[in-house]
Amino acid sequence: MHGDWVCGVYEYFKAIFLGIWSTLVGMRITMARFFDYVKDPLYQGVTVQYPTERWKVAEGYRGMLFNDIDDCIVCSQCANECPADCIIIDAEKAAKGEDLGKTSNGTPKKIKAWRFDIDLNHCLYCGLCTEVCPTECLIMTDAYDYATYSRDGLYLLFARPEKYTTAPAGASPAASPAPEAKPA
């Protein structure tokens, strides 16, 4: 009878001890991270203070598209390659004697872009358009945070028709204004 009582007390305190011990084991990593954070508030292993701090995305990340229109020769290869048809170009050959300038590598520009829009609402972020671009002016930036309250905010306009001296021949410039896209 006395032995059963001792066994009961032993099991009781053993269960309490195991409960505390398993809690401490479970909290070991949490506490280690907590003290890391206390020592260094900018400790990157815990979290980042988004949006003032941001992770650097991996090389090759496919973020928001950007076209450096000054280097674009308006060849339309990107639009032809796009599986989602989300690149819209209205192009026109330069008139005889009309000088459209050169790209940064000295290639003369012979085609005007009255319109060069990318509708990110339909973009698959496959990157095919950037791979075929002969001047590498179309790139995928590392921008990943471009949430917007309206779909218009994901409609990027890159053409600068005001640079051309002649009026568009039947081309229809984009109707709805949208913020000009910028690389990250």
Which residue, 33 or 75, is less far from ligand SF4 as judged by CB? 75
Which residue, 37 or 128, is less far from ligand SF4 as judged by CB? 128
CB of 154 to ligand SF4, least distance (A): 11
Contact 114, 168 (CB under 8 A): yes
The answer to whether the bond into 51 is cis (omega within 30° of 0) is: yes
CB of 61 to ligand SF4, least distance (A): 13
- C-alpha–C-alpha distance, residues 102 and 155, integer Å: 27
Which residue, 80 or 176, is less far from ligand SF4 as judged by CB? 80
CB of 159 to ligand SF4, least distance (A): 11
Name, in order, each residue with C-beta under 8 angstroms of 76's C-beta and a sequence gap of 6 or more.
89, 91
* Lookup: tokens for 128: 């095919």
Contact 130, 140 (CB under 8 A): yes
Which residue, 26 or 179, is less far from ligand SF4 as judged by CB? 179
Positions touching ligand SF4 (CB under 6 A) are 67, 72-78, 81-84, 86-87, 118, 123-129, 132-135, 137-138
CB of 158 to ligand SF4, least distance (A): 8
DSSP state of 9: H
